[in-house]
Amino acid sequence: MFTAPTELKSAYDVVIIGAGGHGLAAAYYLAREHGITNVAVLEKGYIGGGNTGRNTTIIRSNYLTPEGVKFYDASVHLWQDLSEDFDLNLFYSTRGHFTLAHTDSAVRTMRWRAEVNKHYGVESELVGPDFIKRSCPSIDISCNGHAPILGALYHAPGSIARHDAVAWGYGRGACQRGVEIHQQTAVTGIEVKGGKVVGVQTSRGHIATNKVLCAVAGSTPRLTDMVGIQTPIYIHPLQAMVSEPMKPWLDHIFVSGSLHIYISQSARGELVMGASLDPYELHSTRSTLDFTEGLSAHMLDMFPFLSNVKVNRQWGGMSDMTPDFAPIMGKTPVEGFYLDSGWGTWGFKATPVCGKTMAWTVANDSPHELITGFSLDRFRNYSLTGEKGAASVGH
């Protein structure tokens, strides 16, 4: 499935740092759509071992800003064809996605999102408690009396997918087209001369290149430091946990901002559960007990019958947050250094469209039209793309 190149070449047309879904997707589209195959993807760990393998696999396009909705909608359309593109079953499973509103202000935000979504042809609607109860009869609409559900944004195209397979599919497709993936290869420095990228220093030797795409999620600050550019990215841990498998009972994806939970049931029958970001900056993927305690308590408020369900495993990832909760994509003040970052907690769903638009951006040295709203200079220009209201849970 993957070819494992043994030697690093001395030069590549493009070096992509990070063999997660984003980096591999960019490599895949560079090769497939732009004929650029002299590409090295460098990965300090293993394929898909970062946030690609740590997220809760939810795919949706019910965002708040026009930029966001158009972008994620393009992603969803790519997702739908991806299994056939790859000849690989990604278990792309359309389950329907509820973002629950427990307060009247949340209801207002859901209406806002529904209206913006509909405007761009994305299937979203504001629904009431009756609709939610019909869709999931076992839910406690009153949430144990603590936070009665007043309504929800229902997004029928909301889906889940087998996250690891996404990285594998892109990796295989890229390899087949001549891209080299080098695992266990850490970038230790990026050479910049006269404001231009000229090379990359790695744990396995030096590479000459004029184009570097940085797609490393929580490690972004370490790489931007290497080229001396500043971003407003800050890193918070995000944790998740999974239960033992059980027979499927939960068809939909549920998200609650007030209770800080999201939950879906995987094809293996496990409940995949997440919560809000840890409230502190930290460059670590360690797990905490209070995460499982808080998340379990809120889960039982909404689904009391999960009391006996056992939690099998928990893990954490590093989220690269931005002040406006929108990503940072495209060119940077350093010529030849391209950023695909600021993905915070929402990067997985954007994997295909990110790969496609970043490949276009790198190939043409000009931002793809879908990502102009996400440029780094928006922070300088005070033209932010406010997606905080569409973040799945509280931040």
Partner 1 sequence: MSRLPQMPDEWVDRSKTLRFRFEGRDYVAFSGDAVSSALWASGVRTLGRSFKYHRPRGILSMANHDVNVMVQDGQRHNARGDVVQVRDGMDLTAVNTWGGVASDKVRFLDRLSPFLPVGFYYKAFYSKRWFPMWERMFRAITGLGRLDTNTPHIHTPKRYDFCDVLVIGAGPSGLSAALAAADAGASVALVDENARAGGSGLYQLGGDAARRQATRELLAKARQHERIRIFEGTLAAAWYADQWVPLVDADKMTKMRAGATVMASGAFEQPTVFRNNDLPGVMLGSAMQRLIYRYAVQPARRVVVTTANADGYRLALDLFDAGVQVLAVADLREAIPACAAVDAVRARGIDCLPGTGVYEAHADGRGELAAVTLCKVRDGVAETSTARRIDCDGVAMSTGWAPAANLLYQAGTKMRFDERLQQFVPDALPEAVFACGRVNGVFGLDARIADGARAGTAAAAHVLGKALSAPPVPAESEAPSHPWPVVAHPSAKNFVDFDEDLQVKDFENAVQEGYDNIELLKRFTTVGMGPSQGKHSNMTALRILGRLVGKSPQQVGTTTARPFFHPVPMSHLAGRGFNPQRRSPLHGRHAALGAVFMPAGAWERPEYYVVAGKSRTDCIHDEVRRVRTKVAMIDVGTLGKIEIRGPQAAEFLNRVYTARIDLLKLGGTRYAIMCDESGVLTDEGVIARLADDVYYFTTTTSGAANVYREMSRLNAEWRLQCGIINLTGAYSSVNLAGPDCRKVLGPLTDLDLSAAAFPYLAVRQGSIAGIPARLMRVGFVGEWGYEIHVPAEYGPTLWDTLMKAGEPYGIGPFGVEAQRLLRLEKGHLIVSQDTDGLTHPFEVSMDWAVKLDKPFFVGQRSLKILKQMPLKRKLAGFRLPAGYSGQVPQECHLVIVGGEIAGRVTSIYWSPNVGCHIGLAFLPPELATPGSRFEIRVTDGSMVAAEVCETPFFDPEDLRQKEQS
Q: Which of 130, 196, 203, 249 binds partner 1 (CB under 8 A)?
A: 249
Residue placing its CB nearer to partner 1 in the complex, 91 or 208: 91
Which tokens in the block code for residue 277?
């970001």
Smallest distance, partner 1 to C-beta of residue 12, A: 21
Placement of tokens 């007990």 in the chain? 289
Q: How far is the CB of 13 from partner 1 (least distance, A)?
A: 24
C-beta of residue 190 within 8 angstroms of C-beta of residue 136: no
Q: Which residues ranging from 124 to 143 are in contact with partner 1 (CB under 8 A)? A: 126, 138
Looking at residues 158 to 177 of the shown chain, list those that interact with partner 1 (rule: CB under 8 A): 162, 164-165, 168, 172
Distance CA 384, CA 160 (A): 29
Which of the residues 221 through 240 are near partner 1 (CB under 8 A)? none
3-state class (DSSP) for residue 119: helix
Rounded CA-CA distance 243/99 in Å is 22
Binders of partner 1 among 268-327, rule CB under 8 A?
268-269, 286-289, 292-293, 295-297, 299-301, 304-315, 323-325
- State the virtual CA torsion across 46, 57, 265, 83 in degrees, nearest 10: -90
Binding test (CB under 8 A) with partner 1, winner from 26, 39, 147, 255 = 147
Give the containing element (helix H, strand E) for 213: strand 212-214
> How far apart are alpha carbons 302 and 102 in whole angstroms?
12
Report d(CA 261, CA 143) in Å as an integer: 12
Contacts to partner 1 from residues 347-376, by CB under 8 A: none
Cα–Cα separations (whole angstroms), residue 213 to 8, 43, 294: 17, 12, 38
CB nearer to partner 1: give 208 or 300: 300
Minimum separation from the CB atom of position 323 to partner 1 (A): 6
- CB-facing half-sphere around the CA of 223: CA atoms within 13 A: 29
Task: List all residues 6 or more positions away from 373 whose beta carbon is below 8 Å from its beta carbon.
Answer: 65, 67, 68, 71, 326, 385
347, two tokens? 């990067």
The mark string for 191-210 relative to partner 1 (x by CB under 8 A, - otherwise) is: --------------------
Q: How far is the CB of 30 from partner 1 (least distance, A)?
A: 20
User: Between 90 and 363, whose beta carbon lies closer to partner 1?
Assistant: 90
Q: Restricting to residues 19-78, name those near partner 1 by CB under 8 A.
A: 45-49, 53, 66
Mark residues 82-111: x for contact with partner 1 by CB under 8 A, - for none: -xx--xxxxxxx--------xxxx--xx-x
> Please, what is the minimum distance in Å from the beta carbon of residue 156 to partner 1?
14
Judged by CB, which is closer to partner 1: 305, or 365?
305
